[in-house]
Structure formats: structure tokens, C-alpha cells
Amino acid sequence: MHEMTLVQSLLDMAEEELVRRDCKRLLLARVEYGALVGVMPEALHCCFEILTRGTVHENARLELVRLPLRLRCPFCGVSFGEEVQDVLNIPCPVCGEFFGHIVEQGKEMILSRLEAS
């Protein structure tokens, strides 16, 4: 399962960080993910709960922040997309070019904050 693997690697990353900072128990993990990553927030929460249950991290909180998709037009260089729902299907707002837009933000998955004790 895709989500299980993702959450496991996030927990591994968190664990490493905890060790580095001499902490034992994870309290909160904030994960920012791009709109194109294609994960289901409910599934991530569910996997997080399963993987932390019965461990020292039980009852830690997973906070998910969805990053809006941002594209850049390769022809005129403008960035756009933040406020648009169906950004993949719109032309460049400046030059009108439909194709070749580069994804500037949308495919990332970042562990942006950890709280631990």
C-alpha cells in the first residue's frame, strides 16, 4: 500500500531526527504535500495511527498541509496556479500558451515540523 510506505518513511525520518535531538516520543509531525502527490489524507491518518499504535509514539498527531499546485510557463516565465482548481487544464494567464508548463510545486512531500519529548 502506497500510503503505508510513505508514512513508514516519514516515521523513519522523524525517528532519526528524534535520536539526533535526544528525544524519545513523537508528539506531532507536520507533513506538507503537493497537490500532485496523489495521497488520501484519511489514508495517511489511518496508516499513521496503525504504525504508531503500541509504540512510544502512540497518540502522536499527524498534521497534513496540502500545498497548492504551482506551474511555470516556459515561454514567458510567469508562475501561476495558486488559486485555480483545475490548473492543469488552463492556458498561461499571460501569454496564453497551453502546453509545456513546468510544475514548480506539487510533487513534494516535506516533513516540515516535529514536536517531541
- Contact range with Zn ion by CB under 5 A, out of 22-30, 38-46, 59-67, 93-101: 93-101
Q: Are 114 and 21 in contact (CB under 8 A)?
A: no
Which of these ranges, 7-15, 16-24, 86-94, 105-113, lies near Zn ion under the rule CB under 5 A? Answer: 86-94
Contact 35, 116 (CB under 8 A): no
3-state SS assignment for residue 4: helix
Where do we find the cell 513523537?
26
How many positions of this chain bind Zn ion (CB under 5 A)? 7
- Choose which of 76, 85, 91, 98 interacts with Zn ion (CB under 5 A): 76
Of the two residues 63 and 82, which places its CB atom closer to Zn ion in the complex? 82
| Binding-site member from 40, 94, 102, 110 for Zn ion (CB under 5 A) | 94
Q: Which of 98, 95, 93, 96 is nearest to 82 (CA)?
A: 93
Cα–Cα distance between 75 and 73 in angstroms, integer?
Answer: 5
Binding site for Zn ion (CB under 5 A): 73, 75-76, 92, 94-95, 97
